[in-house]
Amino acid sequence: MKPSVSSLYQAVELQQEIPPLLIGERANSNGSKKFRELLLADDFEACLKIAQEQESKGAHIIDLCTAYAGRDELADLTRLVKMCVSSLKAPIMIDSTTPECIEACLRLYPGRCVINSINLEDGGHNIRRICQAAKRYGAAVVALTIDEQGMAMTAEDKLRIAKAIYAIAVDEFKLRPSDLLFDCLTFTVGSGDEKLRDAAIQTLEGIRLIKRELPGCLTVLGLSNISFGLAPKARRILNSVFLHQAVEAGLDAAIVDAAKILPLARISQEDREVCLDLLYDRDGEGEGKPLMRFIDYFSDRNVGEEDEAEAVKRTPEEQLFLQVVNGNKDEVGDVLPVLMERFAPLDIINQILVPAMRHVGELFGKGEILLPFVLQSAEVMKRAVSFLEPFMERIEDEHTTRILLATVQGDVHDIGKNLVDIILSNNGYTVYNIGIKVGAETIIEKARELKPDLIGLSGLLVKSAIVMQESMAQYREAGLDIPILLGGAALTPKFVAESCVPNYGGPVVYCSDAFAGLRAVREHEEGTLVSTVFDPAVVGEPLKPGRKERSISRTNPVPEPPFLGQRYVEELDPELLFPLVNTQALFRGRWGYRRAKMGAEEYRQLISEQVEPIYQGLIRRSLDEGLIRPKVSYGYFPCYAQEETVMVEVEGSLHPFAFPRQQEQPHLCIADYFKTREEGGDIAGFFIVTIGERMGQETARLYEADRYHDYLMLHGFSVEVTDALAEYWHGVMRSELGIAGADPTAGGSLVSQNYQGSRYGFGYPACPDMEVHKPLFSFLKPEKIGVSLTENMQMVPEQTTSAIVVHHPQAKYFAV
Amino acid sequence: MMKSSEVREQYICINCGYLYDPSQGDGMNSIPPGISFEELPRAWVCPLCYASRDDFDPLD
């Protein structure tokens, strides 16, 4: 007699004339949001309806699962089974891992059902109890190839565990081989995870081995995992092709959404080939990896596919994936417990969360989502990992790539490095973030101690680029040869290729942003990472903008300053600054709300509905909480130019300010804008402005609390408010000098330098050298307004800026 | 027709807010009026902050 199961109404052969046997998966609290919500609402009639509907869609057997944290599984499942006894024609599959529940349902059910499932995870305890019950009540049993070491990944392991289960179920408890349905487990080939590239091959081979080595036994498969992480429409096609392959390999039954299985005949030959390439990891014809080809090939098929009905049918895996992609962290705590009933925490991370972040990175790379949304995704990732960590035996996977991160010597800027940390650590990498102002010696020491696979160095200022260049030889001499990734505003591919690469033995790679860093880490893993090359023939030498006039007027009048010497201004209304905030640079640059691929109208809407409210909220918050406390130390001083040096006279003593001169035409130097002693001398203005230390404390707090998005917002805001303060104070000084000209405060959003003279910040292109902070601090004495200097001449707090104010009408920005 | 609207499109530097207006060109980089953003040399940089072309966004 053929192995069959039955309800009160009918018997169903487990080996169908035309395989496979289809087992409906939707009446499952873990697999269907809709079903779960109905269950939580105690709407058992509607739950039953979901079970019934699958029959009409072609399911031969209906899986029933009511396990959910906080519910009484025994009461729920027995109630539903009782209803199915009289109202469901198809036989049922009792889906539970709790022996009590299984036993209670077996007692209730008048036909012959299937138990889903047994395994060897606990070393053989539950399996014995369930096999005993199966024997007593005459049930068939699904057996998963899992043992104490976890889920079997290779065909050999799948067979080995199947044999061990066979020994217990058949030899010990005398079940018939045909009572067993082995589930070889399937893992996604859609995540890009190298370890899973042959997942389909292993599963198919596992089915073949079990059918050959354990004659009479049946096989079953939960199908949809194979395509997890891919687009819905493409999944449906891949699932269907995979099912066909599995049946050819000997599969008897599949747990599926019966409505979503496509007959092979309805799938074009070309579609089939792309799916087969991915499943069998074949190169086939064409470029790139099979997964990339698959995604490209199906990329135009998933637009507008999802409707409401689809949304409620999402599995918990899909829900978590989408929560990461959409940056929705509110429901992570709901879906994780559901997933943890079926997956090990590390598998949730590696098979759902990491692929989701990878997808986010790809969307960012294509310009389809913006940085702030990426950070929200990273927050979801972080929250999920924090939730899972207590349940993980070993948090550090020895296989993960490790990256040492530091902001270089003398540089206090940590936003860039921290963004890299956020992106890398939330893509599953181990990051050692050793902070700011880290000297080369400490980096070498930490590299020896922590043995990272790569080093990432960051630094904002021109000086930091020089530090990186100079330290390369030190790293080489210390015997390091692991790749070094370099990032920072003052770096260019040309500088890295020409000034850093030659001084180090290993690869040195320019990274324009955190995602370039992520790409570099992945390339390292694939063995394809190489040093940055700069080919001027391709890109061309960057232009050096600037006025090309050779002669600078020597006869311009010297304005009359209101006083000579230094003064403090310690009371300044922060509200004066907001009209001067460069909101374009803030929104698009610091915050990353670029227009990118958006239409003009869509972008306007983004700005007015999301970005502008964030900005206004930060203004209100910083006023309410006193986060901005503007303070100024400034002054006017007699001076004269002597070649490249401006000699500044303070209370009878001379302070030399040496400025660099451009190497090429028109050879500008800041000192050129000042008259020489022979020409009668000149007047120089200086200022140091700060918005105080509260902002720095608050941004650090947000970063520590993993509030990445808020961190980026507040940090960018603080930097632009600081710049607005400099702009404001420059305006005050121009008007004190009587050179205010046209409205100096017009249009804070657009930079025009539409006024007489200029301010040159120390550490920026026209004056990269920070050594001049030494004389500046000696006479502006900013310690009184809370500003101090690091050993490398950087100002603390970070939200501080300094400048020399030049009144000469021809003075405009240039770079040396 | 496409061409003329492209020429008029202004681009903004996301780093400093400098606006490239094709009707003005960019004297600091010796770019005459009438050159659209797309026609600027690959090596063109922001005349104020030296950001590269990739750091420019269409204004609106």
What span, in angstroms and rounded, lies between the C-alpha atoms of A159 and A154? Answer: 9
Mutate to test the interface with A, among B10, B28, B29 (most CBs of A within 10 A): B28
Of B12, B29, B60, the CB nearest to A604: B60
* pLDDT at residue A299, as a whole number: 79
Residue pLDDT, tens place only, A334-363: 889 889 888 888 889 888 999 999 889 888
Q: How confident is the model at residue A284 (pLDDT cuts 50, 70, 90)?
A: low
**Intra-chain end-to-end CA distance of chain B, in Å:** 19
What span, in angstroms and rounded, lies between the C-alpha atoms of A270 and A498? Answer: 47
Taking CA–CA distances from B9, the nearest residue in chain A reads: A600
* pLDDT at residue A398, as a whole number: 62
Taking CA–CA distances from B42, the nearest residue in chain A reads: A539
What span, in angstroms and rounded, lies between the C-alpha atoms of A738 and A754? Answer: 15
Q: How confident is the model at residue B60 (pLDDT cuts 50, 70, 90)?
A: confident
Write the DSSP assignment of A61-120 as a string of letters: EEEEB---TTS-HHHHHHHHHHHHHHH-SS-EEEE-S-HHHHHHHHHH-SSB-EEEEE-S
What span, in angstroms and rounded, lies between the C-alpha atoms of A655 and A637? Answer: 11
Give yes or no for a contact between A443 and A467, defined as CB atoms under 8 angstroms apart. no
* pLDDT at residue A268, as a whole number: 84
Copy the structure tokens of residue A445.
């020491």
pLDDT exceeds 80 at position A431:
yes
* pLDDT at residue A136, as a whole number: 92
- Strand, coil or helix: A255: strand
Q: How confident is the model at residue A529 (pLDDT cuts 50, 70, 90)?
A: very high
Give yes or no for a contact between A408 and A457, defined as CB atoms under 8 angstroms apart. yes
Of B44, B54, B58, the CB nearest to A543: B44
Residue bearing the bigger pLDDT, A126 or A367: A126
A585 touches chain B (CB under 8 A): yes
Residue pLDDT, tens place only, A12-46: 999 988 889 999 999 999 888 889 989 999 999 99
Of A545, A547, A584, the CB nearest to B45: A545
Fold annotation for A565-806: NADH Oxidase (3.40.109)
Of A542, A585, A765, the CB nearest to B17: A585
Summary mean pLDDT of chain A = 89
- Strand, coil or helix: A568: strand
Query: Domain-by-domain residue ranges, chain A?
Result: 308-391, 402-526, 565-806
Residue bearing the bigger pLDDT, A197 or A665: A197
Q: Tell me the CA distances in angstroms from A569 to A633, A635, A696, A732, one per residue in order.
A: 6, 11, 21, 12
- Where residue A629 falls (left for φ over 0; alpha for ψ -120 to 50; beta otherwise) is beta
Residue pLDDT, tens place only, B1-56: 344 444 578 999 988 888 999 998 888 888 899 999 988 988 888 888 888 888 89
- Strand, coil or helix: A690: strand
Mutate to test the interface with B, among A460, A512, A543, A758 (most CBs of B within 10 A): A543
* Percentage, residues of chain A above pLDDT 70: 93
Query: Residue A380's closest CA among A342, A346, A417, A352?
Result: A352
What span, in angstroms and rounded, lies between the C-alpha atoms of A309 and A706? Answer: 35
Taking CA–CA distances from A747, the nearest residue in chain B reads: B17
Q: How confident is the model at residue A539 (pLDDT cuts 50, 70, 90)?
A: low
Cβ contact B17–A750 (<8 Å): yes
Copy the structure tokens of residue A649.
């006279």
Map tokens 């499952």 to a residue.
A28
Map tokens 């903004």 to a residue.
B12
Mutate to test the interface with B, among A664, A751, A759 (most CBs of B within 10 A): A751
Average pLDDT over residues A391-406: 78
Residue bearing the bigger pLDDT, A131 or A757: A131
Does this model's pTM top 0.80? Answer: no
Q: What is the CATH superfamily name and number for domain A308-391? A: Methionine synthase domain (1.10.1240.10)
Buried residues in A258-281 as b, exposed as e (16+ CB within 10 A): bebbeeeeebeeebbebbbbbbeb
Kindly list the residues from chain B whose CB atom is less than 8 angstroms away from the CB atom of residue A540. Answer: 41-43
A311 touches chain B (CB under 8 A): no
Rounded to the nearest 10°, the torsion over CA A616, A617, A623, A627 is -120
Taking CA–CA distances from B55, the nearest residue in chain A reads: A589
Kindly list the residues from chain A whose CB atom is less than 8 angstroms away from the CB atom of residue B26. Answer: 545
Q: Which residues pair with A28 in a beta bridge?
A: A65
Average pLDDT over residues A533-552: 70
Of B41, B47, B57, the CB nearest to A595: B57
* pLDDT at residue A763, as a whole number: 80
pLDDT exceeds 50 at position A708:
yes
Residue pLDDT, tens place only, A463-503: 889 999 999 999 999 999 999 999 998 888 889 999 999 99
N residues, chain B? 60
Taking CA–CA distances from A813, the nearest residue in chain B reads: B48
Residue pLDDT, tens place only, A543-584: 777 665 568 888 889 999 999 999 999 999 999 999 999 999
Could you tell me whether strands A402-407 and A454-458 are parallel, antiparallel, or unpaired per DSSP bridges?
Answer: parallel
* pLDDT at residue A746, as a whole number: 44
Buried residues in A327-345 as b, exposed as e (16+ CB within 10 A): bebeebeebbebbbebbbb
Taking CA–CA distances from B51, the nearest residue in chain A reads: A489
Residue pLDDT, tens place only, A712-765: 999 999 999 999 999 999 999 999 998 876 544 444 444 455 678 889 988 877
Cβ atoms within 10 Å of A616's Cβ, excluding its own: 11
* pLDDT at residue A105, as a whole number: 95
Helix axes A708-737, A371-388, angle to 10 degrees: 140
Residue bearing the bigger pLDDT, A307 or A342: A342
Average pLDDT over residues A121-140: 93
Q: Rounded to a whole number, what is the distance in Å from the CA of A468 to chain B's nearest CA?
A: 20
- CB pairs < 8 Å spanning A and B: 76
pLDDT exceeds 80 at position A310:
no
Residue bearing the bigger pLDDT, A17 or A710: A710
Taking CA–CA distances from B47, the nearest residue in chain A reads: A545
Chosen CATH of A402-526 out of 3.40.50.280, 3.40.50.300, 3.30.200.210, 3.40.50.1820:
3.40.50.280
Cβ contact A546–B55 (<8 Å): no
Cβ contact B47–A751 (<8 Å): no
Average pLDDT over residues A703-719: 94
Give yes or no for a contact between B26 and B20, defined as CB atoms under 8 angstroms apart. yes
Write the DSSP assignment of A275-306 as a string of letters: HHHHHTT---SSSS-HHHHHHHHHTTS-TT--
What span, in angstroms and rounded, lies between the C-alpha atoms of A151 and A131? Answer: 20
pLDDT exceeds 90 at position A420:
yes
* pLDDT at residue A68, as a whole number: 85
Kindly list the residues from chain B whose CB atom is less than 8 angstroms away from the CB atom of residue A597. Answer: none
Of B15, B26, B28, the CB nearest to A585: B15
β strands within A710-782, DSSP E = 758-761
Residue pLDDT, tens place only, A47-65: 999 998 888 788 999 999 9
pLDDT exceeds 50 at position A129:
yes
Residue type, A334: D
Q: How confident is the model at residue A540 (pLDDT cuts 50, 70, 90)?
A: low
